[in-house]
Amino acid sequence: MAELLIWPALIAYGEAAVAYAGELRGPGRGGRLGTWGVRLGWVAQTGLLVAQALASDGFPWSTWAGALNLFVWLVVGLYLIWGCRPRYRLLGLAVMPVAAGLLLLAWAGGGTGVDTADEPGALLAVHVALMLAGFAGFTVAGGMAALYLWEERRLKRRDARVLRLKLPPLQALDRLAARVAAAGLALLSAGIVVGLATLDRGDVDAAMVVTVGIWALYAAALLLRREAAVGGRRAAWLLLFGLALVAVVLPITHFAS
Amino acid sequence: MKLSLVGVSHHQAPVELRERVALDGPAAAGLARLLARGREAVVLSTCNRTELYLAADGEPSLGPLAVETLLELAGPDGPALEPVLYRLEDESAALHLFRVAAGLDSLIPGEGEILGQVRDAFETGRPGPLLDRLFRTALHAGRRARVETAIGESPASVPAAAAALAQQVFDDLSGRQVVLVGAGKVSELTARNLRSRGAAVVAVANRTPAHGAELAQQIGARSVGLDGIAGELAGADVVVSSTSAPGFVFTVEGIGAALRARRGKPLLLVDLAVPRDVDPALAQIDGCFVYDIDDLEAVVESSLAGRRAEAVRAERVVAAEAERFREWHASLAVVPAIASLRARAEAIRASELARAEGRLDRLPESDRRVVEAVTAQIVNKLLHLPTVRMKEAAVTSEGVVYAEVVRHLFGLGEEEEA
């Protein structure tokens, strides 16, 4: 029965994605409805995850679809930290369609059932959770970077509606994206360390190499920002490039290996 | 209780007429005092309107008195003023004030100053029960309209738009450095707007050093010559330019290298000059944002369109408050009847207790208190439903009929007449 919670979560996330698109026409009801959709959907998904955890003997999100389910929950949870504030509502435009789509994919892959295949091992659970939390941070930072580039483009093009359809200020987006990416990098680093502890010698695959590459990219981006003042649009493009690696290359290498 | 409003505003009257009846704060307070003999009076006078709000119990309408007062104020222009005066009463007058307080009757929808002016008029006026309630509700409606809609959010002038754009780039303007190039009136207003949001004007560059120095001193900045601009750019966040130079003051060749050296650190170039001071090609440089006067006016126009769209929602807020006020005002019609009914019932109860005093005297004190309480409770319970029904009827047109029926059935007021 508990697996039915996927539907309110999916419907609410979908409603939020549509409502945030409505916010583009003007601030007000669309944004408020979107925020409530995110909240309710997240509560429903939390219920689903709790049910999965209670029914499990080990770690119920070790399959790719299960991991995607947990990943979406982490991304939406992270978004909720800012997304409830009116000035960051439009971040939902970048996050919620992706979240709804990924959750649908997780459902299609069988990652939202309560009787998923379990894999025992506390270290593995911590490793996967940390890695997913790190990637969730990169996803939200990528959303902020996309929003930065959109806002910068509107300001450069002297869009007359720039103050009517208000996105967060440029520098706030730049700062926040860097902070979220830094938090993601810290979580990913911890996840890699825990993963190394569970790794058998000679068990290295392409996905691990790409993961280390992603780690190096984000570390370099943050270092450049700190030491060479590489911020603004260049930092935003770096974050989006990193997100592309997370979203495209990592899954491909994961399934290939 | 009758509420009357007579006024003149920018909708119908040109400034030549409005200025004849415009009053400053003390004069408006004085006129309210003068009008308030045995009545309630509040005078609202701003650059766009002068309105007299009068209320009294028992008088049919105070409109003629208000008209006479305004015509007297207008002096020889009285005959020209009379056709443009508006006369509103009761609910219409209340709705008008609520719209005024919400900024819906202003030249710029949602402008913020009017709410303070309504508050000042209320505080310096002579309100009684009706005008007190009316103005408090109006202030509440004005606040609600601004909180629940975005009618007052976006900038309505070029200087405010420039400052809002700076916030859209930099977020918090505290500590941001502004350089003024040219000391014209609009750039000064823009600088003041930026300062009010936390930015610091660090330098004023002007072709006429004396004029630039004077403005620099006023706003606590240093004065530099036009040849010193390039040196100021390194630390600047916002440049506001409004010189009368015939060509571009800022060109890619002139400052492009300096801007590239900022490595993408944002710089907002606000060009208020015609002909323009800033080469639009500078916008191609990373971190550099260029807005000329046409861009800013387009932003203001879009903002005003947004305010007009929000005005539709604000009208709903105001209408809801007006409806609440109407219900309260209508309930006043049955209040005297309810008060008389309760007084009559209380008098009967007291007299019956007095008649029984001889027998009640034999009871212990605690039992006497119980009898007191029980009789009071019976009266209250009997009158509760008729009171509620009368108040409900009051918000419809039947309120007065109900009041008359109650007076007739219970003989209220007959003893006084006898």
Retrieve residue A129's tokens: 């959770």
pLDDT at position B418, please?
44
Quick check: B393 and B399 in contact, CB under 8 A?
yes
CB–CB contact A155 B289 (8 Å): yes
Question: Considering the domain A1-116, what is its CATH architecture?
Answer: Up-down Bundle (1.20)
Q: Does B250 contact A at CB distance below 8 Å? A: no
Structure ipTM over 0.90, yes or no: no
Quick check: B141 and B135 in contact, CB under 8 A?
no
CB–CB contact B286 A169 (8 Å): no
**CATH class of segment(s) B158-299:** alpha beta
Buried b (16+ CB within 10 A) or exposed e, A174-198: bebbbebbbbbbebbebbbebbeee
Q: Does A163 contact B at CB distance below 8 Å? A: yes
Q: Does B234 contact A at CB distance below 8 Å? A: no
- What value does the mean pLDDT take over residues A195-211? 78
pLDDT at position B378, please?
94
Rounded to 5 degrees, what angle do the CA atoms B174, B177, B179 make?
145
Low-confidence stretches of chain B (pLDDT beneath 70): 59, 414-418
Q: Does A164 contact B at CB distance below 8 Å? A: yes
Q: Residue A173's closest chain B neighbor by CA?
A: B171
pLDDT at position A117, please?
58
Taken as a whole, chain A contains a residue count of 257
The rounded distance, in Å, linking the Cα atoms of A144 and A138 is: 10
In single-letter form, the type of residue at position B228 comes to G
Helices A170-198/B158-170 angle, 10° precision:
10
pLDDT at position A191, please?
92
Retrieve residue B393's tokens: 């009827």
Quick check: B32 and B41 in contact, CB under 8 A?
yes
In single-letter form, the type of residue at position B219 comes to I
CB–CB contact B299 A229 (8 Å): no
Higher pLDDT: A200 or A97? It is A97
pLDDT at position B54, please?
94
CB–CB contact A169 B169 (8 Å): yes
pLDDT at position B416, please?
52
Query: Which residues in chain A (168-227) have CB-CB distances under 8 A to chain B?
Result: 168-172
Q: Does A24 contact B at CB distance below 8 Å? A: no
Q: Where are the domains of chain B?
A: 2-148, 158-299, 333-417
pLDDT at position A118, please?
58
Buried b (16+ CB within 10 A) or exposed e, B225-249: ebeebeebbeebbbbbbbbebeebb
The rounded distance, in Å, linking the Cα atoms of B30 and B158 is: 37
pLDDT at position A257, please?
62
- Give percent of chain A with pLDDT exceeding 70: 93
Farthest CA pair distance, chain A = 60
CB–CB contact A163 B302 (8 Å): yes
Higher pLDDT: B186 or A220? It is A220
Q: Is B254 exposed, middle or buried (0-12, 13-18, 19+ CB in 10 A)?
A: middle
pLDDT at position A120, please?
62
Give the dihedral sign, CA B57/B61/B65/B67.
Answer: positive
Catalytic (active site) residue B47? yes
Q: Write down the pTM of the prediction.
A: 0.74
Which tens digit of pLDDT belongs to each residue from A117-159?
556 677 888 888 899 999 999 999 999 999 999 999 999 999 9
Quick check: A234 and A221 in contact, CB under 8 A?
no
Query: Does the bond joining A60 to the residue before it have cis omega, within 30 degrees of 0?
Result: no
Question: Considering the domain B2-148, what is its CATH architecture?
Answer: 2-Layer Sandwich (3.30)
pLDDT at position B94, please?
95
B6, HSE (Cβ side, Cα atoms, 13 Å): 20
Catalytic annotation, pick one of B27, B34, B47, B298? B47
